[in-house]
Amino acid sequence: MHKILVNVMREEIRMAVIDEEGQLVDFVLERTDESHMANHMYKGTVKNVLNGMQAAFVDIGGSQNAYLNLQQGKEQKILPRLSVGQQILVQVVKEEMLGKGARVTADVSLAGRFMV
């Protein structure tokens, strides 16, 4: 089984894929740019759960809380267990804009040449 190693620093993110023999299979270096959040993953804190809208708002450090739609995919399964103050891993699917927070998903994925 391959191992995925992730090193997050203030100025860059390094991701490596290592095979069973310890050989490097893939390496990605991404410079962090605060102005672009799309596809980035964050450990956020649930600030509000709206059962009627089947949505939650998650603090990921942006100017506004991010919107998590709980009506589709993996998110449907976490709705009953989601509570205010809980920490959750999310991935940005749409940037913040015009006073609205980013849109996020709990169905996170790593993109790469050897990822399926």
pLDDT in tens, 11-67: 788 899 999 999 999 988 877 665 567 778 899 999 999 988 889 999 998 889 999
57-110 per-position pLDDT tens digit: 999 988 899 999 988 766 667 767 889 999 999 999 988 888 889 999 988 887
- Classify residue 11 by its DSSP letter: S
What's this model's pTM, rounded to 2 decimal places? 0.64
- Residue 97 sits at φ, ψ, to 5 deg, of -165, 145
Cα–Cα dist 64/79, whole Å: 21
In a domain, 3, yes or no: yes
Amino acid at 23: Q
In a domain, 116, yes or no: no
CATH classification of the domain holding 47: 2.40.50.140
> Under a CB-based contact definition with an 8 Å cutoff, are residues 48 and 57 in contact?
yes
Domain that holds residue 18: 1-32
Q: Does 22 lie in the same domain as 46?
A: no
First to last CA, the chain: 14
> What is the domain count for the chain?
2
